[in-house]
């Protein structure tokens, strides 16, 4: 089966973003919230993340 170039591009971009924030979802959401605050546009829906022992905040 041939790979879809659009899907491959999205996956590549996802890996680049994950790497940029050390695979830490909290770092990424803090960055987006800061951008949101400075732009005035709503980019992140505020949700409370509940951690448990088996959950991970990694990409």
- pLDDT score of 49: 62
- pLDDT score of 54: 62
* Interatomic CA distance for residues 8 and 5, integer angstroms: 5
| pTM > 0.75: yes or no | no
The torsion region of residue 23 among left (phi > 0), alpha (psi -120 to 50) and beta comes to: left
- pLDDT score of 42: 72
Give the residue carrying structure tokens 């990424």. Answer: 28
Rounded-to-10 torsion of CA 41, 27, 17, 57: -110
Residues 2-57 pLDDT 10s = 999 999 999 999 999 999 999 999 999 899 888 888 887 776 666 666 666 665 65
Which residues touch 21 (CB under 8 Å, ≥6 apart)?
A: 27, 28, 31, 59
- What is the phi/psi pair of residue 31, to 5°? -60, -45
């Amino acid at each position: 089966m041939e790979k879809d170039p659009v899907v491959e591009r999205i996956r590549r971009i996802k890996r680049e973003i994950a790497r940029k924030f050390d695979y830490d979802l909290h770092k990424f959401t803090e960055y987006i919230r800061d951008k949101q605050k400075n732009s005035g546009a709503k980019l992140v829906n505020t949700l409370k993340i509940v951690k448990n022992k088996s959950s991970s905040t990694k990409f």
